[in-house]
Amino acid sequence: MTADDLARIQEELDVELPKTYREFVRKYPKTLLEAKRHMTKGDESPAELELLNDADALIACNSGVQASQGLHDFPAEYFVIGQSGCGDYYAIDTDDDDSPVYFWNHEIGDFDEEEEHESLAAFAAELIRGVKLFNEAVGQRRGGR
């Protein structure tokens, strides 16, 4: 992601992103970009879902959360960095420069403390680990391919 992308996100969403987050997405980990879940309908990367690496997707996701009446308890100082694909969101607190990653569970309408990651790097490592485990399980189900 470029500095211009980050400036556009901040301007369009009227948010100041923590320096730690800006630095992380400017140097988005190559291993995370290359990590792909082998799905039935094609490969899927965490960069396209859980830890978005696209300015337009981040703007759309955050605009959707801000406009959603079902998320009226979602704190205004939180910035959505990705989603689970099942109605849940991963977010950072824009007031916390350390950028721990929080998990908004739509079923409880709040953050789930059991799904918290201490940093973006820890979250990225967990996503990569999850992709590897997913692909191993899929390979076993498909007869080891």
C-beta of residue 93 within 8 angstroms of C-beta of residue 78: yes
- What CATH number did the domain enclosing 15 receive? 3.40.1580.10
pLDDT at 145 over 60: no
* pLDDT tens readout for residues 118-141: 999 999 999 999 999 988 887 766
CA neighbours closer than 13 Å in the CB half-sphere of residue 56: 0
Residue 106 is predicted with a pLDDT of 87
Residue 57 is predicted with a pLDDT of 96
If you average pLDDT over residues 26-32, what whole number do you get?
94
CA dihedral 138, 141, 143, 145 (to 10 degrees): -10
Question: In which domain, by residue range, is 126 found?
Answer: 3-141
Residue 142 is predicted with a pLDDT of 65
C-beta of residue 9 within 8 angstroms of C-beta of residue 21: no
Number of domains the chain is built from: 1
Cβ neighbours of residue 66 closer than 8 Å, sequence gap 6 or more: 13
Q: Distance between CA 118 and CA 84 in Å, rounded?
A: 18
Residue 131 is predicted with a pLDDT of 92
Taking the alpha carbons of 61, 66, 67, 68 in that order, is the dihedral positive or negative? positive
If you average pLDDT over residues 89-118, what whole number do you get?
92
3-state secondary structure of 86: coil
